[in-house]
Amino acid sequence: MKATVIGLGLIGGSIAIDLRRRGFVSSLVGVESNAKHARQALEAGLVDDVAPLADALRGVELVILAIPVDAVRALAPAVLDAIGDAAVVLDTGSTKATVCAALAGHPRRAQFVAAHPIAGTENSGPLAALAGLFQGKVNIICERELSSPRALSVAESLFELLGMRTIFMDAAGHDLHLAYVSHLSHVSSFLLGQTVLDIEKSEESIFDLAGSGFASTVRLAKSSPSMWVPIFEQNAENLGRALDEYIAHLDTFRRALAARDSSALYAITNRANDIRRVLDALGARASAGAGLATPIPVPTTNNDRTETLGGTQ
Amino acid sequence: MKATVIGLGLIGGSIAIDLRRRGFVSSLVGVESNAKHARQALEAGLVDDVAPLADALRGVELVILAIPVDAVRALAPAVLDAIGDAAVVLDTGSTKATVCAALAGHPRRAQFVAAHPIAGTENSGPLAALAGLFQGKVNIICERELSSPRALSVAESLFELLGMRTIFMDAAGHDLHLAYVSHLSHVSSFLLGQTVLDIEKSEESIFDLAGSGFASTVRLAKSSPSMWVPIFEQNAENLGRALDEYIAHLDTFRRALAARDSSALYAITNRANDIRRVLDALGARASAGAGLATPIPVPTTNNDRTETLGGTQ
């Protein structure tokens, strides 16, 4: 199968590694607007070639969009316009309602699969790409009924090859849920990072005192703004509601703290402890999923940041 | 040296493992109010014996307080009253101003060392104790000038044996800094856990969609309330100020989101990205520290929760 990956960041690059190693594609061309990233992707062997968009779509059978969600919305209709009648296009973005709305009524909507493979790290760019990144994780396909059986079959085979379990949802439900279990976590982490950086200006060496708990809660603040701001904007309604609830809980805690209301503080923290049940279940699932196939050794990682590309999570 | 550890949770248990394995103590007695934990600690070989407080202090040369900070405040003066003139007492709590104030003017203040070894996990109880937990990490000693040279020397030897680098601070500065780089992270995580658990009630299977980013930001919500509520209360002034700043940042973000103000959202997330510099430095330090000594193999871990004991972080 002749395939093109648009966007050679963490997600596009990681998909490329697995597709090539496992023989899913006969040739793989990358489209990448950042010249440095294009060069890095070629040097790392993520793709056979990097080409301009029009060339990369000529005669292609499979197109994977792995670019920020604002770019997906802008580009997806034109990509569908440019491909042949037998080609399949899928995206990998962390919001689904916007791209589905942008393609509603498109004459080639059936050739498109709205997907969200839930995987990622806080790093970005082609050098952050990892073999086996998706192994044992969950992929979501939205509006399954609007994709042709053949397009769905190609997409499902691809995600199965990556080691993922695919589940199906409507786009609105996807965006609502992701607001709580992913997008809110990122906002929380970005703002926690900002708060602590503020005091660092006046208090030197504060980070001598930071432990692993701090690192864990602010890790996501390293994530790419060019990937995350479009996600926040496209999911602003759901994320806004989740953020309102989070802020209300923080306000309640703040009042209990000011009042030294021990019983309220114990009630809140005891209640939150129930998250252990959820995390233990997630951990068990991750362990079980990781056993499905032998992970491919990781080729390279680094912390290179990108301003123009992003992954998905 | 004949030593007693008061509190056989994550911190007390982990100290006990290293002290015994490395021959720092000739005998080690534990004091533990939770009968189940006392039994588990004995079975796991963390201590030679478990005894009532009065018995455990008779003829002791070193006492380590590894109990929640409200219990430290209540118990430390009585422990100093009960020991001999040559004995040394140290605590391990995550707040330092309260215990220092409680012991200000105590006739045996010079025999006490106010310490905070910054290490921990989100688990608690004796079965969560780990060999080598402190290796390569930072220990803080406050009010160094109020401890006798001998008491300081014993404490410094102990923390060096654990593989820690000790730095010195005043108690107020310690509590201010820890509010930002530890206590605020815990509040953020507890309340994020609560927010997501709320929506789970109405939306089944939401956690199918949670990725590693979610797990990372809510991990600390698993922490022991009986350990953390007293920390929050004792550090309420500093933590309240940090929390006010965090909530203000969240409010600003919320308004920018509602207004779809892209440039504000980019400014906030780009700014927060600078946390990468801090986390990379922390990571480099942790790697360097871990190389100082061969870690002892981890004997046992689990997720047992305790209602009466806690660790420190």
Give CA–CA dist B18/B130, Å, rounded.
9
Residue A152 included in any domain: yes
What is the dihedral sign for C-alpha B120, B122, B124, B129? negative
Residue A114 is inside which H or E element, if any? strand A112-117
Q: Which two tokens stand for residue A53?
A: 């968009």
Is residue B310 over pLDDT 50?
Answer: no
Give the tens place of pLDDT for each residue, A271-298: 999 998 888 887 777 666 554 433 333 3
Q: Are residues B183 and B139 in the same domain?
A: no
Q: Across all residues in chain A, what is the average pLDDT?
A: 90
| Band of pLDDT at residue A308, cut at 50, 70 and 90 | very low
Q: Are residues B195 and B88 in the same domain?
A: no
| Band of pLDDT at residue B311, cut at 50, 70 and 90 | very low
Contact B134, B16 (CB under 8 A): no
DSSP category for residue A223: S
Distance from CA of B45 to the nearest CA of A (A): 27
Q: What is the predicted pLDDT for the residue at A302?
A: 38
Task: Report percent pLDDT > 90 for chain B.
Answer: 81
Mean pLDDT (whole number) for B164-192: 96
Ranges A194-208, B118-132, B251-265, most confident: B251-265
Q: Which two tokens stand for residue B230?
A: 């007293």
Q: Across all residues in chain B, what is the average pLDDT?
A: 90
| Band of pLDDT at residue A204, cut at 50, 70 and 90 | low
Q: Which of B117, B137, B169 is the last residue of a domain?
A: B169
Contact check, Cβ <8 Å, A254/B240: yes
Q: For chain A, say whether B294 makes contact (Cβ under 8 Å).
A: no
B chain contacts of residue A246, beta-carbon cutoff 8 Å: 191-192, 195, 250
Q: What is the predicted pLDDT for the residue at B297?
A: 34
What is the dihedral sign for C-alpha A150, A155, A156, A162? positive
Mean pLDDT (whole number) for B241-265: 98
CA angle centred on B122, ends B116 and B127, rounded to 5°: 90
- Model pTM score: 0.89
Q: For chain A, say whether B225 makes contact (Cβ under 8 Å).
A: yes
Distance from CA of A10 to the nearest CA of B (A): 15
Q: Strand B2-6 relative to strand B62-65: parallel, antiparallel, unpaired?
A: parallel
Is residue B306 over pLDDT 80?
Answer: no
Mean pLDDT (whole number) for B145-168: 97
Strand, coil or helix: B290: helix
Number of domains in chain B: 2
Q: For chain B, say whether A137 makes contact (Cβ under 8 Å).
A: yes
Residue A296 included in any domain: no
Q: For chain A, say whether B307 makes contact (Cβ under 8 Å).
A: no
Q: For chain B, say whether A183 makes contact (Cβ under 8 Å).
A: no
Is residue A201 over pLDDT 80?
Answer: no
Q: Count CA within 13 A, CB hemisphere, residue B251.
A: 9
| Band of pLDDT at residue A200, cut at 50, 70 and 90 | confident
Q: What is the predicted pLDDT for the residue at B76?
A: 98
For chain A, the helix, strand and coil percentages under 3-state DSSP, each to the nearest 5: 55, 10, 30
Is residue B31 over pLDDT 60?
Answer: yes
Is residue B296 over pLDDT 60?
Answer: no
Q: Which of B258, B279, B298 is the last residue of a domain?
A: B258
Give CA–CA dist A129/A134, Å, rounded.
11
Distance from CA of B177 to the nearest CA of A (A): 6
What letters, b where the CB count within 10 A reaches 16 and e where it falls short, cover A264-274? Answer: bbeebbebbbe
Q: For chain B, say whether A241 makes contact (Cβ under 8 Å).
A: no
Residue A207 included in any domain: yes
Mean pLDDT (whole number) for A217-222: 94
Q: Are residues A38 and A157 in the same domain?
A: yes
Of the candidates A185, A206, A274, the beta carbon closest to that of B214 is on: A185
A chain contacts of residue B271, beta-carbon cutoff 8 Å: 194, 197
Q: What is the predicted pLDDT for the residue at A278?
A: 85
Nearest to B78 by CA among B31, B41, B24, B148: B31
Give CA–CA dist A243/B37, Å, rounded.
39
Residue A303 included in any domain: no
Residue A298 included in any domain: no
Q: Are residues A187 and A270 in the same domain?
A: yes
Q: Are residues B17 and B126 in the same domain?
A: yes
Q: Are residues B130 and B26 in the same domain?
A: yes
Q: Are residues A146 and A126 in the same domain?
A: yes
Q: What is the predicted pLDDT for the residue at A303?
A: 37
Q: Are residues B20 and B127 in the same domain?
A: yes
Sheet with B165-169: list strands edge to edge. B49-50, B27-31, B2-6, B62-65, B88-91, B112-117, B138-142, B165-169
| Band of pLDDT at residue B282, cut at 50, 70 and 90 | confident
Of the candidates A188, A194, A272, the beta carbon closest to that of B217 is on: A188
Task: Report percent pLDDT > 70 for chain B.
Answer: 90
Of the candidates A182, A245, A280, the beta carbon closest to that of B198 is on: A245
Q: What is the predicted pLDDT for the residue at B213?
A: 87
Q: Which two tokens stand for residue A210?
A: 């930071």
Is residue A230 over pLDDT 80?
Answer: yes
Q: What is the predicted pLDDT for the residue at A288?
A: 67
Question: Can you give the CATH number for the domain in which B107 is found?
Answer: 3.40.50.720
Contact check, Cβ <8 Å, A233/B265: yes
Nearest chain B residue to A189, by CA:
B217
Cβ contacts of B277 within 8 Å, gap of 6 or more? none
Q: For chain A, say whether B245 makes contact (Cβ under 8 Å).
A: yes
Q: Which of B135, B169, B203 is the last residue of a domain?
A: B169
Nearest chain A residue to B140, by CA:
A209
| Band of pLDDT at residue A19, cut at 50, 70 and 90 | very high
Tokens 């439900």 sit on residue: A173
> At B83, which amino acid appears?
I
Q: For chain B, say whether A135 makes contact (Cβ under 8 Å).
A: no
Is residue B278 over pLDDT 90?
Answer: no
Give the tens place of pLDDT for each residue, A49-78: 999 999 999 999 999 999 999 999 999 999
Contact check, Cβ <8 Å, A215/B282: yes
Is residue B303 over pLDDT 50?
Answer: no
Is residue A300 over pLDDT 60?
Answer: no
| Neighbour tally for B54: CB within 10 Å | 10
Nearest to B209 by CA among A237, A220, A312, A180: A180
Q: What is the predicted pLDDT for the residue at B288?
A: 67
* Residue of B166, B217, B249, B307 to mutate, interface with A, max A Cβ within 10 Å: B217
B chain contacts of residue A186, beta-carbon cutoff 8 Å: 213
Cβ contacts of B38 within 8 Å, gap of 6 or more? B8, B30, B32, B50
Give the tens place of pLDDT for each residue, A233-263: 999 999 999 999 999 999 999 999 999 999 9
Q: Strand A165-169 relative to strand B2-6: parallel, antiparallel, unpaired?
A: unpaired
Residue B298 included in any domain: no
Mean pLDDT (whole number) for B300-306: 35
Residue A305 is inside which H or E element, if any? none
Question: Can you give the CATH number for the domain in which A272 is found?
Answer: 1.10.3660.10
Mean pLDDT (whole number) for B221-242: 97
Q: What is the predicted pLDDT for the residue at A209?
A: 85
Mean pLDDT (whole number) for B93-113: 98
The domain in which residue A234 lies consists of 174-290
Tokens 């002034």 sit on residue: B237
Q: Are residues B13 and B154 in the same domain?
A: yes
Residue B211 vs residue A300, higher pLDDT: B211
Give the tens place of pLDDT for each residue, B136-156: 999 999 999 999 999 999 999
Is residue B301 over pLDDT 70?
Answer: no
| Neighbour tally for B1: CB within 10 Å | 16
Nearest to B33 by CA among B67, B4, B2: B67
Q: Are residues B156 and B243 in the same domain?
A: no
CA trace torsion B4, B5, B8, B9 (10° rounding): -170
Q: What is the predicted pLDDT for the residue at B89?
A: 98
| Band of pLDDT at residue B201, cut at 50, 70 and 90 | confident
Mean pLDDT (whole number) for B241-260: 98
Q: For chain A, say whether B214 makes contact (Cβ under 8 Å).
A: yes
Is residue B293 over pLDDT 50?
Answer: no
Distance from CA of B236 to the nearest CA of A (A): 6
Residue A297 included in any domain: no
Q: What is the predicted pLDDT for the residue at B137?
A: 94
Q: Are residues A139 and A247 in the same domain?
A: no
Is residue B290 over pLDDT 60?
Answer: no
A299 burial type by CB count under 10 A (0-12 exposed, 13-18 middle, 19+ buried)? middle
Q: Are residues A156 and A12 in the same domain?
A: yes
Residue A302 included in any domain: no
B chain contacts of residue A184, beta-carbon cutoff 8 Å: 192, 195-196
B chain contacts of residue A189, beta-carbon cutoff 8 Å: 213, 217, 272
Q: Which two tokens stand for residue A90?
A: 């899928």
Q: For chain A, say whether B231 makes contact (Cβ under 8 Å).
A: no
